[in-house]
Structure 1
C-alpha cells in the first residue's frame, strides 16, 4: 500500500468535507472573478470567455461529485448529512447559473449593458464572502466571521434586487421588444445567482445555529 494511502487511512474522515467545500469556494471565486472581467471585455465573436466558464463549471461539478461520494462512504461527518448535501447543492447552483448567464449572453448575442457589469461585480463579492464563511466554518473555529459573511451576502442579494429593478425600467424604455425579451432573460439568470448565494448563506447560518 502506498504511503499516501496509509496516511489517508488515519486522517479524520470528517475533515475531507471541509477540504472539498473550500475547493468549491475557491473555484467559485476564480469563476466569478473571471466572469466579471470577461463581462467588462466582452466580445460576442470570441467564445474563449464562454469556454472558460464551462471549464469552471465542470471543475465545480467534479468537486461537488466528490462531496457526494464521500457522503456515501463516510459514517462520520462534520455536521448533518442533509446540511452537507444542501450546502453542496447550493454551491453547485451558483456555478451552474453563472455559466447559464454567460451562455445566454452568447446565444442571444445580447449587447453588453452596464447592468451586466454591476451584477457580475455583486456576484464576485458574494463568492468572496462565501469563501470567507466556508473557511471559518471549518471546525467551527470562527462562527462570528461566518455570520458576518452571511449578513453581507444577504445585503448583496438585496442590492442585486435593486439593480434588477432599475435595469428593467431602463430596458423597457427602449421599446425594442425582441431585445427586451433577450436581455430580460439574462438579467433574471444573473439575479438568480445572487439568490442562490443567499440560499447558501442561509444554509450556513442554520448550520451555525445547530452547532454553536
Structure 2
C-alpha cells in the first residue's frame, strides 16, 4: 500500500457514516408514514401494506449491515465505535418492531383497535424527529436542534404509555378473551416501537453531549 493510500485509510469517514444514518432515518420516516396511512385506510384483504413493510425492513437491514461493514473497514470514525453500534442497532430495532406490528395485525385478523392509529401517528412523528436529529448531528454544529428533537421523541413515548394504558382498560371491558389476547399483543408491539425510538433519542443525546 502506497503512503497516499495509508494516509487515506486513516482519514475520518464522517460523510460515509452520516450519509448512511441519514438514509436509515429517511427510510424509517417513509416506512412509518406508509404504516400510518395504511391503518387509516385499512383493508384486511389487501396485504400491500404488509409487503411494503417487509420491503422497508429488508432495506433497513441492508443499510444497517453496510454501517457495520464501514465500521470494520475504517480506523477513524466521526464518534465512538460503540455509539455507532448502539445507534445503528437501535434504529434497526425500530424497523423490526414496526414490521412485527404490521405482521400481527394481519395474522390475527381482528377488527382494528382505535389505538392502533394513535400509536402509528406517534411512531411517525417520532421517526420524523429522528430524521431531524440525525440531520442536525452533522459536524455537531446544531446541538440545540438535536436536543429539541430528542425531547419531542421522549414526549411522544410518554403519550404512548398513556395510550397503551387507556386502550388496555377499554379492551378488558369487552370481555372477549381471544380478542383481548390478540389486540393486547399488537398494542404492546406498537408501544415497544416508541420505546425503541426513545432509546435511539437517548443514544443521540449522549453522543451530542460527548462531542458538541
| 2:136 alignment partner in structure 1 | 136
Task: Give the Cα–Cα distance (whole angstroms) in 2 for the partners of residues 17 and 171 of structure 1.
Answer: 44
TM-score by length of 1: 0.94
Task: Give the Cα–Cα distance (whole angstroms) in 2 for the partners of residues 206 and 196 of structure 1.
Answer: 15
| 2:181 alignment partner in structure 1 | 181
Q: CA deviation at 1:205?
A: 0.6
Task: Give the Cα–Cα distance (whole angstroms) in 2 for the partners of residues 110 and 140 of structure 1.
Answer: 46
TM-score by length of 2: 0.94
Q: CA deviation at 1:15?
A: 1.6
Number of residue pairs matched by the alignment: 205
Q: Deviations over 1:146-172 (max 9, x none)?
A: 000000000000000000000001100
Q: CA deviation at 1:138?
A: 1.3
- Which ranges of 4 or more aligned residues in structure 1 deviate by more than 3 Å? none
| 1:5 alignment partner in structure 2 | none
Q: CA deviation at 1:12?
A: 5.1
Task: Give the Cα–Cα distance (whole angstroms) in 1 for the partners of residues 110 and 190 of structure 2.
Answer: 13
1:41 is the counterpart of 2:41: yes
| 1:163 alignment partner in structure 2 | 163
| 1:17 alignment partner in structure 2 | 17
**SS in structure 1 at match of 2:43:** coil
Task: Give the Cα–Cα distance (whole angstroms) in 1 for the partners of residues 70 and 188 of structure 2.
Answer: 34
| 1:203 alignment partner in structure 2 | 203
Q: What are the ranges of 5 or more consecutive residues in structure 1 without an aligned counterpart?
A: 1-7
CA-based RMSD: 1.4
**SS in structure 1 at match of 2:151:** helix
Q: CA deviation at 1:113?
A: 1.7
Q: What are the ranges of 5 or more consecutive residues in structure 2 without an aligned counterpart?
A: 1-7
On the 8 A contact 2:12/2:77 being kept in 1, the answer is no
Q: Deviations over 1:113-141 (max 9, x none)?
A: 21000000000000000000000011112
| 1:150 alignment partner in structure 2 | 150
On the 8 A contact 2:25/2:134 being kept in 1, the answer is yes
